[in-house]
Structure 1
Amino acid sequence: MKNNNFIFFGTPDYAVHTLESLKLSGFLPSLIVCSPDAKVGRKQILTAPPAKLFALQNNMPILQPTKIDQATVDGILKYAPAYAVVAAYGKILPNILLDAVPYGFLNVHPSLLPKYRGPAPEIAPILNGDTKTGVTIILLDQLVDHGPILAQEEIVLNGNEFSHDLAKNLFEIGGKMLVNIIPKWLEGKINSTDQDHTQATLTYKTKKLDAKINLSDDPKILWAKWRAYYPWPGLYFEIDNPHQTKLGAKPPSKLHVKINKAIFADNQFTPTLVTPEGKKPITFTEFKKAHKI
């Protein structure tokens, strides 16, 4: 195989699944580029991203730029990569960098492009009740998930997948695909194919408000949302809060209730454990009895 010196761009645990697949076949990057350490949780503890931990465990150089400026580009190019792999990096890479790497940037995208471009391709097929999804390897260009396709692999969905687990699986598949694709790409044995941009659909960054539900909604929709938004942002609902409502107040104050656990059986979606705002978790049965719902 030609020069296998490459750089990896990726940050979360999804990226590590791609890295692990590559590592199993002897593909180890000369540099890992990931996001800076970030404050996490209520105590705001400064925490290293999973890709950084992988790099440290494997004695690999790390770069954690806050932005891809000229100094960052220079720092990357000093490693003289033949190509780069991108998996869940989350930043737009400038043309000055894309054009400087001989065999380009191979991006792992967890959908069957051009369907589900954007930041939430693992959530959309669950919400939409799709029976299949997959992984696409594309060459990055300056637009989001727009570049030509090098390979695709399809998987069947059974209707019980959770988005986080689905994403892990897809990025692991993407790593295995790269092991097969990279040698052929470097040897000129793969031709890229332009996406049909007229068929492109977009996904959007998940917000906490997306996970707000009404318990009277269609149970199948609730089950899909539960699987799509678990563990974050996590489904929640609101009820009138008589303890906070003043006589005559309009609208009444609401009690925010997070759903911790739920089941779907006999075509019914049923929370089993909930956490009212400011309280400890209780069973949904106890909650209904206390609030007479």
Structure 2
Amino acid sequence: MHRSTKTFFLVIAFVTLSSHELFLKSDSHFLSPNSTSEIYLLNGTFDKSENSITRDRIINAKIIGPDYLYEPTDGDYSDENNITYLKFKTGETGSYVAGISTLPRMLEMTASDFNAYLDHEGLANTLADRKKDGSIEKGAKEKYSKHVKSLLQVGDQRTDHYMAQLNYPIEFIPLNNPFAMKVGDSISFQLLSSGKPLANQTVHYSTSVPGKDAHENESSTQTNEEGVLTISPDKAGKWYVATIHMVKSTEKGVDYESNWATLTFEIK
């Protein structure tokens, strides 16, 4: 195979694989108190949704703020142009967190596609294990689920509700309030898996840039021994942190189980 042809297919594989990501966003993450608002799910990339999320997959959806807990029902969602929308009414002023988790689905890939996916997502340990146990030449069946969060600033008063733990299989907990930060300030997050710090995990982060998909400008870092990572957003706008945690599965007919996490916020 010619080098250019091989590169083309790898690029296509990366685009296809990155389209698995799920993000919870708002047109503006700065909202007014006691007003009708809207957040939405992009199932694809940070800038484009490939398809909506069916209601039977959504679990543990909630929005938390000061004296505020909203748990949507199926009738609160709507779909348009491959995007899933959720309308809600904000409460009093404060820093809110919204979250949605999905039930698992199965994904089956050839050896070459799965290995390229692992390499692209920084899942070096899984790739190394496949080389060590001889499964590097084998395809894989992966059971995956997605767990997404979004931070919202309602009114002017900042509160610590943005740190609320939603008890998802994997989730980011902000250690600083991004709405109190300016461009160039450092923001730290703790990554939890089953409620415990997840160390040495690759995390991607980026923001939208006019004329480009945010994934084209991704940077990556790793969590430390306490599961903490720090980024310094260098421009105003909507940002995300994202990761995939993968382990070998003991379930029959499943080779690997992965949990995907994203968290979105906005810097003024």
TM range (shorter): under 0.3
Query: Higher strand fraction: Structure 1 or Structure 2?
Result: 2
Query: Higher helix fraction: Structure 1 or Structure 2?
Result: 1
Structure possessing the higher radius of gyration over alpha carbons: 1
Q: Which has the higher contact order (CA 8 A, sep 6+)?
A: 2
TM-score (normalised: structure 1): 0.26
